[in-house]
Every structure is written in structure tokens, then in C-alpha cells.
Amino acid sequence: MSLVERNAEVAVLHGLFGDCLEARSRLAIISGDVATGKSSLLDAFERQAAESGAVVLNAVASSVETALPMGVLEQLFRSPEVPEAIAERAMKLLNARALTYPMRFRGLWDVLRDLTERRPVVISVDDVHHADEISLQCLLYLLRRLRSARLLTVLTVSPRSQAPNAPFQSEFLREPHSRQIRLGPLSPDGVEALIRLDLDAQTARLLAPAFHEASAGNPALVHALVDDYLAGPEFIAPELVAGGAFGRAVVGLLQRHEFPVLEVARAIGILNEPVPPSLIGRLLDIDAETAARAVGTLTSAGILDAGSFRHGAAQAAVVDSAPPDAPGVLHERAAEQLHSDGAAATDVAAHIVASNRHGAPWAIPVLREAAEQALTSDDLGTGIRYLRVAHQICRDRRERSAIAARLADLEWRVDPSVALRWVPEFSLAIQDGLLDGRDAGTPFMSLLWHGRVSEAVRMLDALGRGRPSAALPGDAGTAMDVIPPRFCLAYLYPELAKDGPAADTAPALGPVPAAAPGPGQDAAAMLVAELHRRDVRGALVAAERVMERSRLNHRTFASLAIALATLIYNDRPGRAAVWCDALLAEATARRSPTWLALFTALRALIHLRQGDLPAAERHADTALNLISPKSWGVLVGLPLSCMILAKTAMGRPREAADLLSITVPEAMFRTPLGPHYLYARGRHHLAANRLHAALSDFRTCGTMREGWAVVLPEVEPWRLGAAQALIALGDLAEARALMEEQLLRSAPEHVRTRGVALRVKAATHPVPERPDLLGEAIELLQGCGDRLELSYALADLAEVRRWVGEHDCARELAHQAELLARQCGRPAAREGERPDVPGGVVRPDDLAGRHRMGAGHAAGLAGSAGRDAGGVAAADPERFLKLSDAERRVAVLAASGYTNREISKKLYITISTVEQHLTKVYRKLNVKRFDLKSALQHIEVVLPASEAVLDCCGSGPLRQAAGDR
């Protein structure tokens, strides 16, 4: 081993050697922890002394030879540099059994004196703390009688040695001409210098800090880290690689220490925590003082730091060196000792679990207590681990069922699909009267969550037939705001809340709750009652109370989710956002992926209702990744629907189609999540111009609700989508009827729904009637905070203003709509384009649509036109149908106020052609140019101020030729 940062120590030895040359005997004692370089320093000095002409007598003491008398002396006088004659004299004295030890010492003094008179002598003994007692006595004898000889004695010793000859070692320190040399660990610069012996300077500089931290400056460990680095893959960035060489070096270093250093290191490594010396002593059957010394040795050697291993690789290597059964035995002893000492349950439980020996009867209550303590800090993993062991070793069925119930609660918070494995055990426990309803809540909700409705109802029925104590929390009112499980079932599967038995279920779920409870009763019961009574205001008040009074836990989770959904579905996205953000923070702090996933999905829905499409997409994607699709169960429809709606509205239909290819549970369509999913799919079809498919999905949403005995707020206002599909199909009458029904069914509190309904209804009315409807819609949408729907309403009003020739107002409205759409994450729309309906501009009053509506409707519109305000005769709609496509395009643009030159540029035709088309238009419609606008408005022909007229008049290939602006 090369000498680094040992220049001062080498200088001391050279100075002592200089004294010895002047016949002044000297003694140097080199001390230091194991593997700090004592032997390397001694070896280097021996070579230098030999080169200077000295005779070197060297020996290495060993723990296995401590009991061998004169073993070190024999090594010294058998050194190769000792003259043969002197060596023979010494051997005769050492082997002369007839002589006493003092007589032999006297003879060896004569031999050594003769040798020092010829040449300087250096006596070196490595690891002198392992030397035999006779050799140490002889060395002391020689040193004291040769103080004026050319003799230098150099010894290396471990300062923490507990060898039996320790008293003799202290005698050397009392010698008047002795000098102690203490070797410490390398500094960071020393470590860098040592690394540079094998690696380039730049790499050494980068590696030195990490190497020094891992090795504590021990040269042997630094060399091992260099070996691991060199053995790693080439061309990697310089970084610490603590591998096999480092682990072997650590174990080898500890093996060189005396008992029980290695054993204590193994105990600390296996227990994986700082352990008091008193406990270590009891675990290893040694006294506390010895254990404390061993810990001190490990700390001094840099293996431990504040009672723990400095580096994980060192700990792993030490633990791996232990016998296979050592960890289990040690943890079992630790658990027993700590339990007998009255230690905290959490301290004892960790060792019970790690021991894999769980037979002690006192272990179960300790594990349960430790689990509950872990849950106070929401450490779900630890709580689950303790309860699993407690459940495994418990033999009492009632207690085992109670443990399983608590375990199911925790596992459901992490992964709802895992909690299903407890259903068979709970079913048997309920049948045998071993489990009351309070503990059956999680298995019951897990069955509902995963669509296993029949089993859930049977479980509820079995609990209802059991003892009174078996009632589920909330059934008879509780101190907590807990939704009754019967209502959870009815809320998630509304078809089951009937007066009689459901088709595939056990007996009925019971009567509808009475009127709303008074102020003294819990808010959850009030929310249930108001939802049953369809009282929107009462339900909103009760939902706010639930949110205010309930802290998130496994019993209030359903109550909070239903209360939050009540706010969302009743058009209170602002209030819902405030509460949802608070619940998200609480779910994050309480480390529940399940809670966090559902509230994140609800947050995505809130973002949709507020028109923030990127945020809705982001939260929905996060929700889908927090737990697996299997774990989502029937509720997977919520995040999926939000993602589909967001991607569709942002103009990414292919990504939305990919989401629609994901298989969803069939049972989802029995829940309110079904309308969510169908509505999203309908919007996707609508955007793709698959109008009949869209209309089918929207109508199915309404059909599903017909079988619901519990009338819940509409999760999605399906009539809005159906009306837009009908408008695109040209059926204005039915679309208008749907919107009137939607407005009739919507409570005054449903501001957003009413605003959107008025906007869609406006498209079913003649142009002159639309501004009032759109103005009212804009006012409502501004109040509810849905910026996306507001942008649609502003865009609609801008089109109307363009049609009537108010171009300045139209441009301002269109600009506002565009700004809002961009804020919402929608791509920029082309001029005149309606982004919320398929195919760009879908005109409910265009003449192509009029063919689909039928002649009767067209005639009715024509008859209602009458005469315009100026007394101009209204044009006959049938005459307009006789115009060619080109004539229609020119007529609409001319009526919109464009000049002939502007029309020619817009349609890519000559001015002469424009004039020819207009001449034919005037003749066929029997009007003049200044009457053209009024005539076309009377027959409800739209008058856009952009190339969107190409859509209106059915341009086909010409639109492609003109290109998009």
C-alpha cells in the first residue's frame, strides 16, 4: 500500500533512526485503527533502514500464536539479515529448555549487544498487541539494558486492543526514550492523492468527496472503491461504485478486529437501527461495557456514524456475512427484550415482523397497536405490514375478522382491487355473527366499486338480518357525517332503490328518507334526504355542511365524494373547486392513492365545467395513472370521460378515439358513470360528424335515467348534446323541444346548464330572435364561470351580428370569443367556424338542411316571413332553391354587404361572372340589390361575412380550391 499523507510520520522515524546511529537507543510505537496503514509505514521504514546499512530484525505477531512462548523472539532472530553465527547463538538460547527465562534473556542481550556494536539494529514487531507474553518480557529487558546501543525498536499496535498482554504493552509507553506515532484517517485531499495513483487527476478530483465519505478516509477501503470503479462499465461518468471489493474489504477489516467487533457490527446491520450497547450486550450475551467498546471501535474505524452504518454497501456486506439464521434469531430476541422492557409497540412490532417467528401470544395486540400508531402519521405501508402479520398469526376468529376489516380499509386506500380478496372471509364472518356492519363497510363498498352488485346487496341483507349491533354506520344516525350504505348503493346503482326487490338483488333497500332533518342531526343524513326530495337548494346546503364538518377518513370518504359531486352536478364548480383542492391536499398528506385518484378525477370534471381543457386533461391523466384501470372498477368512466371530452374539445379526435377503445366494465352502465361515458362518446361522434351515432348515445343517457328510482342531478345534460346533433341533422323542431324541456327541468340554481341550453336553443330560432337568447345565455355563462361555453356563445352572437351586417360588433365579439377559446386550450377556429359542432358551420336554416327538414317546415318558415319592415315583398323560398350553387354563394355575399370586386376575390371568379350571377339572382328572386338582404333574411338564409358561406351554400370542391384563411 502506498504511503499518502504520512510524510510527518516518516520524518519522525528517520529522526529516531538518526539518534540510534549516535548510540542512543530509541523506541517508536505506531498506533492506529485497523487498515490505516501501520504495516505499510513499518514496511517502508524497514526498507529504508536496510538501505542505510542497518540490520533489520522483524516479526509479525498473530492472535493464533499469542499462546506460543517466545514465538516473536524466534521470528526476530531468524530474520534473513541476521549473520548466521549470531542467529545460531540466538537459536541455541531460545531452544535451551534447561535454562530459565531470565538466563535466556541474559544470553540474548549478549547476542544483540554484539550485533549493535557491528551495525545499527532495527527491531520491528507488527501487531505487537498479539505478541506472546515471554517475547514482550524479553523485549522490555533488552530495551532497558541497551539504552546506549545503536538500537531502534519500532512496534505497531491497535489502541483498542483487549489482549491479555495489554499491561505489558503499557510498559513500553513508560520507556523514557519512547515516541508514539498516531495514524489517523486520510483527509479528502489525501483520498484524492491515493486515487490518483490509479486514475487520472480529473477523475480523482471528482470521485474524492464521495470516496472519502464512504470510506471515512480508510486507505484500504479507498483502494477497494477504486477497484470497484475500475471493474464497472467503461465510459461512465465518474461516480461512487461500492461493489463487491468494497464489501469484502469492510468484512475483512472487521475480521481483523477482536471479538465482538464483527458480531456487534452484524447485530447493528441486521437490526438496521442504532441500538443501545446494553441491548446489544443482551442480544449477544456479552456485557454492556464490551458492547460499548465494540461500538466505539466501529465508529473510530469509520464503519459506523452516529450508531448507523456510514454506507449501505458496507451494511449489506456485513449482514450477508452472517449465518443464514442469524437475522431471524436476532430480531426475535430483540422483540422479546424490548417487549419485556416495556418499549413502544412500534419498536417491538418491527422486530416481530422481521423475525418471521410470530408464535408469541403477546405479539397480536402489539402489532395492532403499532399499526394504529403508524396510521396516525398515515404510514399505510407500515400499518398494512403489521396487520397482515397479526392476521396471519391470530387464531381467534372474531379477532381475526376484526383485524381483516381494518386491513381491508387500509388496502382499499392503496388499491381497491386488493381489498376484494377479503370478501369471502367477511361473508362467512357476517353469516356467523362475527362481524358487525361497522367493520363491513369497506368490503361492501369494494363490491359496489367493482360492479359486483348482487354480492353487495346480499351482504347488506345479511347484515340487516343480523343482530342490531350489525347495523352499518349511518343507518340509524351517527355522530359522524357518514352516508348510509343503503344510500351509497342507491346512489351508485339508482335502479336498485325501488319499493320492491330488484331483479337480481336481495330485498329492497328501504324507504326514501323522510324530510330533511333538523339542525341537530348530521349533515350526511340531511344530504340524503334532500337528494331524495330533489330539493336542489337543500342538497347544496347539506353538501356544504358535509364538506365543512367532515375530515377525510375511510368512513367519510363516500360522504365527501357525494357531497362534492352534488356541488359539481348542480353547477357550483367554483365552490366545488375550493373543497376539492382541500380534499386533494388532505388525500396527498394522508398518502392514499385511491382517495387521491377519485378527487383528482373530480377535479378534472370541475376544470371541464369551468372550461379549462388542458387542466382537465392533465388531472384526468393523473387520476388514471394513480391507480390501475382494474383498480378503478366502475368509476373508471369518470376520468376516461373527462379525458375524452377534453381531447375532443381541443381538436384531438384520434387521441380521444384511442381512449374509447379501452374496455370498461359492463356494470359501469348501471351507474351514473354510464351517462358520463356515453355523453363523452357522443361528443366525440358529434365532432367526427357521426351525427346519428352521437344522437343515439345522447338519447341513451336519458333512457338510462328512466329506470332510476333515486332521481339524482344530471351528471351530464344529455339534451344539450342531442339538440346539437338534431340541429346538425336539420330537425330544428325536436331540438327546440328538447331545449325547452331542459330549461323547464333545470332549477334556477343550474346556471351553467340553463346558459348552455339557451345558447343551443338560439340556433333553432330565426335570426332576429337569436340575439336576445344569446345575450341571456352569455349573462348566465359569465356568472357560472364556464369560459369555454361562454366563448361558444360569444362566437354564435358574433355570427348573428355578421349576418345582420353589424360587422364592427361582430369582429369585437369574435375577438373576445377567440381569446377565451385560447385560454381554454382550444385550437384557433377558422373565421365563421362553430367549433362545438361538426363540419364547421352547421346552419339550422341553410337550404340543404331544409331538404332534410321537409317541405312542410320550409313552407311554415316561408309563411311566417311575411313582408319586411320596409314593405318589400318576401322572396319565395322555392325560388331560392332554383338558384345554382354559384348563384347562392354570390347572393349571400352580396346581401352581406360585399362589393362585386370583393366577391370576385373571395370566390376566385371574375367581376364579370359576379355580375352575371347577380343578374340571374335578381330575376329569379324578383328583387333588386338593395332588397336582397331583407329578402334573404325573411327566408332565413344566413348572411356570413367570411368564406364560411361556402359551407352554407354547399361549395364542395370550390371550398378546397379557395383554401382556409
pLDDT tens for 617-638 read 999 999 999 998 889 999 999 9
Q: Tell me, what's the pLDDT at 910?
A: 85
Q: Cell triple for residue 292? A: 460499548
**CB-neighbour burial class of residue 639 (10 A; exposed 0-12, middle 13-18, buried 19+):** buried
Burial pattern 806-838, b for ≥16 Cβ within 10 A else e, equals beeebeebbebbbebbeebbbeebebbbbbbbb
| Residue range 201-217: mean pLDDT, rounded | 92
Nearest residue to 650 via CA among 620, 622, 674, 626: 620
For the four alpha carbons of 138, 139, 145 and 149, in that order, the dihedral sign comes to positive
Q: Decide if pLDDT at 897 tops 90.
A: no
* Distance from C-alpha of 794 to C-alpha of 775, rounded to nearest angstrom: 9
Tens of pLDDT along 91-107?
Answer: 999 999 888 999 999 99
Residue 841 has pLDDT above 50, yes or no: no
C-alpha cell at 811: 369582429
Other beta carbons within 10 angstroms of residue 74's beta carbon come to 16
- When pLDDT is cut at 50, 70 and 90, the band that residue 383 belongs to is very high
How confident is the model over 276-297, as a mean pLDDT?
A: 91
Predicted structure pTM score: 0.66
More confident residue, 860 or 738: 738
pLDDT tens, 498-534? 543 333 333 344 444 444 444 434 677 778 777 777 7
CA–CA–CA angle 381, 383, 386 (5° rounding): 110
In DSSP terms, 156 is beta-bridged to: 30
DSSP secondary structure code for residue 321 in this structure? T
| Residue 956 DSSP class | T
Phi, psi of 552 (to 5 degrees): -65, 120
Q: How far apart are the first and last CA of the chain?
A: 79
* pLDDT tens, residue by residue, 285-295: 999 999 999 99
**Cβ(680)–Cβ(648) under 8 Å?**
yes
* Distance, CA of 896 to CA of 805 (rounded, Å): 6
Question: What is the rounded distance in angstroms from the CA atom of residue 440 to the CA atom of residue 438?
Answer: 6
Long-range interactions of 82-88: CB distance < 8 A, separation 24+: 82/55, 82/57, 82/115, 83/115, 83/118, 86/111, 86/114, 86/115
Give the chain's length: 965
User: pLDDT band at residue 923, thresholds of 50, 70 and 90?
Assistant: confident
- Tell me the chain's radius of gyration from C-alpha atoms: 46
Angular region, 238: left φ>0, alpha ψ -120 to 50, beta rest? beta
Task: List CB contacts of 871: < 8 A, sequence separation 6 or more.
Answer: none
832 vs 820: CA distance, rounded Å: 16
Gap between the Cα atoms of 818 and 346, Å rounded: 60
**Residue 156 predicted with pLDDT over 70:** yes
Which parts of 127-200 fold into alpha helices (H)? 133-145, 166-173, 188-195
CB 920 within 8 A of CB 888: no
- Residue 880's pLDDT is 66
| More confident: 63 or 154 | 154
> What tens digit of pLDDT does each residue of 662-710 get?
999 999 999 989 999 999 999 999 999 999 999 999 999 888 877 665 5
Q: What's the pLDDT score for residue 957?
A: 31
Going by pLDDT thresholds of 50, 70 and 90, the confidence category of residue 465 is: low
What distance in Å separates the CA atoms of residue 929 and residue 913, rounded to the nearest whole number?
16
Distance CA 532, CA 511 (A): 10
pLDDT tens-digit map of 389-445? 999 988 888 899 889 989 988 999 999 988 888 888 888 888 887 876 667 778 888
pLDDT at 503: 36
Number of alpha helices (DSSP H) and beta strands (DSSP E) in the chain: 51, 7
Question: Average pLDDT, stretch 817-840?
Answer: 67
Residue 167: half-sphere exposure toward Cβ, Cα within 13 Å: 3
DSSP state of 873: B
Encode 103-136: b = buried (16+ Cβ within 10 Å), e = exposed: ebbebbbebbeebbeeebbbbbbbbbbbbbbbbb
Among residues 214, 82, 61, the alpha carbon closest in space to that of 128 is found at: 61
- The pLDDT of residue 169 is 63
Which residue has better confidence, 747 or 946?
Answer: 747
Whole-angstrom Cα distance, residue 243 to residue 317? Answer: 9
What would the pLDDT profile of 74-132 be if each residue is shown by its tens digit? 999 999 988 999 999 999 999 998 889 999 999 999 999 999 999 999 999 999 988 99
pLDDT at 274 over 80: yes
Please state, in angstroms and rounded to a whole number, the distance separating the CA atoms of residues 109 and 477: 101
Q: Nearest CA to 94 among 115, 112, 77?
A: 77
| Consecutive H or E run containing 183 | strand 178-183
Q: How confident is the model at residue 349 (pLDDT cuts 50, 70, 90)?
A: very high
Instruction: Report which of residues 845 and 726 the model is more confident about.
Output: 726
Residue ranges and CATH numbers for the domains of the chain are: 7-184 (3.40.50.300), 202-208+238-393 (no CATH), 847-962 (1.10.10.10)
In this structure, are residues 780 and 754 in contact, taking their beta carbons and an 8 Å threshold?
yes
Quick one: pLDDT band at residue 836, thresholds 50, 70, 90? low
Reference 175, options 24, 14, 18, 21; nearest CA is 24
Q: What is the pLDDT of residue 14?
A: 94
For the chain, helix, strand, coil in percent to 5 are: 65, 5, 30
pLDDT-wise least confident of 38-42, 476-480, 684-688: 476-480
The answer to whether residue 212 scores a pLDDT higher than 70 is: yes
Average of per-residue pLDDT across 803-807 = 86
The pLDDT mean for the chain works out to: 82
Residue 956: per-residue pLDDT = 35
Q: Grid cell 372550461 — which residue?
A: 611
Task: Quickly state the pLDDT bin for 938 (edges 50, 70, 90).
Answer: low
